[in-house]
A and B are shown apart, each in its own frame.
Chain A
Amino acid sequence: MDPEARKVIEMGYGGAERLTMNMGPQHPSAHGVFRAILTLQGETVVGMDAVIGYLHRCHEKLGETLTYTQYPSIASKTDYVAAMSSELAYVRAAELLGKIEVPKRAQYLRVLVGELQRIASHCVWLGTWCMDMGGALGGGATVFLYCIREREMVLDLFEALVGARLLYGFHQVGGTRYDLPAGWVQTCRETVDFIDRRIGEWEDMLEDNDFFLARARGVGVISRELAQEIGISGPLIRASGVNYDIRRAEPYSSYEDFDFKVPVETAGDCYARYRVRMVEFRESSKIVRQVLDGLPAGPISSRPGVKSVGQVRIPKGEAYARVEGPRGEVGCYLVADGSAKPYRMKWRGASFSNLAVLPHIIPGHKVADVVAIMGSVDPVFGEVDR
């Protein structure tokens, strides 16, 4: 045998020494390309270093080279699981800066797609989280396939609306680019009702299952103080007892017209995050129904349709717009110099800030909990690295 190999085996694996293990960037549960350098003592994680940046695509620099007309469809690619909300953040920043009015119908349409997107995104979260806990060769894969089946119906709706299934380009400065096609409203109502029923089935399957509860309860607790200190947002901070939702705190796009609950849990563990998102599913479908009931007639954009890439010019200034995406606060900061392109652009990705909490809560848990906690944080690495 190779003497070198003997030495490595004997040095690394003896006694009560600590073991450093790389989880990722290529790993089944990395949710993309996340590298966690774990320090293990037996099965217990005693330290964790998070390494990000494997999916960096220079989005913020790219934003400087594309016009206000071109960039919204690229904004989709930051958080590709919830493309609608990142697009909205960008066009809202431009509208704030240019003081551009958005017609009521367009505002309602933006709410409509935003909430449908939240349903689709939470489907992906539930499926992948269960797969992290249950394995691709077990019950987790079953939940995953059920969730993806239902997400597919929302994607079909988006396909009928804009022609694309993942990256939409639905929003434009001043309104939306597409109006609802004939028959769409009826299909949407049926889909939302159907998914509502299916959510009940998933809850039955998971919450009556002691093994699921054993994996989710009391695991990865984020205290209220830690949550506020790190600056996490979205379902995570609401699961830690902070009643904070931008749709409520700073209503945009006519969210004040709709009646919905903001779920808050106090436990701060994986189960609390699960409960918050399960209630959000239902609240989103409630909002979708209200939008469909009260959809006003009128134009969908205050500006003419896209004729040339440079037709939107934004006066000099700077603005920050934020929206409540499925993963939390998605913010876009724009500095304009009066031309057809922004001078600077900065994204505030919800996943990026949420991910920062991992090194604080993971030490002390077992290896198996690392993936469960990471799944419950629901990071999308397109948004983390941008």
Chain B
Amino acid sequence: MTDAVDAFVAGFIVLSAVVGVVTYVTLLERKFAARMQSRIGPYRVGPHGLLQPIADALKLLMKEDIVPRLADRVVYNLAPIVFLIPGMLIFATIPFAPGLGVADLNIGILFFLAVSAMEIVGLFMAGWGSNNKYALLSAMRAVNQIISYDLPFIFTALVPVLLAGSLRLSDIATAQAGLWFVFYPVIGQLAFAAFIITTLAAENRVPFDILEAESELVAGFRVEYSGMKFALIQLGEYAHMVGTSFLGALLFLGAWAGPGPAWLGPVWFLLKAMGVFLLVTWVRWSFVRIRVDQILAISWKLLLPLSLLLLMATALVVVLRSGPGV
């Protein structure tokens, strides 16, 4: 009984923290993009625009909720929730410090990857249920892209697993106490680069944001959504982004390792995750979007074989390192 209560309380705290962080990540991105484009960014609401995310949320809350007349109502209304839940669930397995997390599963990374791939269901539901041609095309593209990019994404995420010898996320973090995996000779850098590229695709960011593609598909799968449903979709998307950034920081950047006392661990972890997030954002605001056929070609012809090779090379290194007879 107390276990259940503990889990509930932990989950509540993590969820609230996630919503808070995600809300402010939007401000971070807007400010960062603004600096890149020699603008100032949000500045009016609160000092330096610090209250902007709250104003945005309030605005979306008060917007009229429109359901297209010919939409598939059940699917349409359910989609934002189905889309949001995986984005929130992925935080369940992330240990924010030794022993500080909701559930440190022994198959943590598998859970993370499986749940994060679930977002495609909500996405497709949104595209299909809207009964809009832009949304439908976007949903088709989403299925293509996520199937293509989840494989290399999983393979690159498995490289640290092999190096650490465990599927448990906290074990992977502690295995980097001596050397962060990003500094692991050759393999680490290649895997990190591949991870960033596949992250861009998994998070639907430019140059791989063909789902949203607002210059051709207006807003893609979310074109018909307004008000709070739109907010839920945005929240789910950014939660997924932040979750993947945390995963990147955990797999390659040593998670909570950093100078200072142990209680600074979560702070370091957050900073590293934001570093990964800003790296992805930097790419986003400097590239143009590529076409759907080019995206698929990059994945199947380049990333997938390379990530497989990398995985096998890592396995070889691990076997050689542990010596004969093991």
Contacts and interface: CB of A to CB of B under 8 A. Distances in A.
A40 B137 CA distance: 10
B203 to A, nearest CB: 12
B36 A135 contact: no
Contact of A142 (B36, B205, B212): B36
A138 B70 contact: no
A206 to B, nearest CB: 8
Contact of A5 (B71, B215, B289): B71
A374 to B, nearest CB: 10
Contact of A133 (B37, B39, B136, B289): B289
Interface residues of B, number: 41
Contact of A369 (B137, B287, B291): B291
B133 A140 contact: no
A62 interface: no
Contacts of B141: 43
Nearest to A366: B291
Contacts of A142: 33, 36-37, 285-286
- Name the prevailing secondary structure of the A interface residues: helix
Q: Is the interface of B mostly helix, strand, loop or mixed?
A: loop
A134 B285 CA distance: 9
A307 B137 CA distance: 60
Contacts of A9: 70, 72, 131
B294 interface: yes
B279 to A, nearest CB: 15
Given A28-B214, A132-B215, A139 B284 contact: yes
Interface string A357-371: 000000000111111
B82 interface: no
A134 B206 contact: yes
A214 B290 contact: yes
Contact of B290 (A4, A130, A131, A215): A215
B70 A8 contact: yes
Given A5-B131, A28-B215, A140 B289 contact: yes
B291 A215 contact: yes
B288 interface: yes
Nearest to B207: A211
A367 B137 contact: yes
Contacts of B206: 134-135, 137-140
A367 B36 CA distance: 29
A133 B215 contact: yes
Interface of A: 1-2, 4-5, 8-9, 13, 19, 21, 23, 27-29, 40, 42-43, 130-142, 145-146, 149, 205, 209, 211-212, 214-215, 366-371
4 shortest interchain CB distances as A-B pairs: A138-B206, A134-B288, A5-B70, A145-B37
